[in-house]
Each structure stands twice: as structure tokens, then as C-alpha cells.
Amino acid sequence: MKKLTFISLTLISLLISSNLIALEAKIPTTSMSKALEIVKSKNDFSALKNVKYNVKEKTYNITYVNKNGSVDTIKISQLNGKEVK
């Protein structure tokens, strides 16, 4: 009886664990290349200067040179792909 209980609890925990991993994999995120495409599609984009990922805020910090020659920084959220103000 103890073996049967142990086996059933083990199988249930494996099932729950695999379902949680599958749910985590389904969370949509924005890749670095998609974030760069968003910045490059801006009208005043001229050249890429620097790209950093902020782990705490889950944002891409992208610095670029605009057509006027000045440097701009834009933050793009990894979770939804939108610009963070």
C-alpha cells in the first residue's frame, strides 16, 4: 500500500511540474531582435549605439543615434514589446 501511495504521489507531482513548465513556456515575450526592429522602424533612427537588458525591470535599454546626430535612449518591455516611458 505504501508503494502504491508513493508511486501515485510521484506521478501527480510530475504531472503538476510538467504543466507548470508548459504554462511558463506559453508566456509571450519580446526577443532582442524584435526590440531592435521596433527601434529601427522609428523615423529618426540613424545608427545603433548600445543595447542592454535590464533584468530587474525586464526591459531592453537601446541607445541609438538619430538623424539629427543626437543620442536617444528607448526602453522596450520584454513582456509586451511596447515602449516604456
Q: Would the pLDDT of 25 be above 60?
A: no
Side by side, which strands form the sheet with 59-66?
45-54, 59-66, 71-77, 83-84
Q: Would the pLDDT of 13 be above 90?
A: no
What are the extents of the domains in the chain? 2-84
Note the pTM of the prediction, 2 decimals: 0.64
* Per-residue model confidence as pLDDT tens digits over 56-81: 999 999 999 988 889 999 999 988 88
CA dist list (Å): 35 to 6, 22, 66, 70, 73: 48, 25, 17, 20, 13
So what's the pLDDT on residue 19? 66
So what's the pLDDT on residue 26? 62
Q: What nine digits make up the cell of 28?
A: 509571450
CATH topology of domain 2-84: Nuclear Transport Factor 2; Chain: A, (3.10.450)
d(CA 76, CA 61): 7
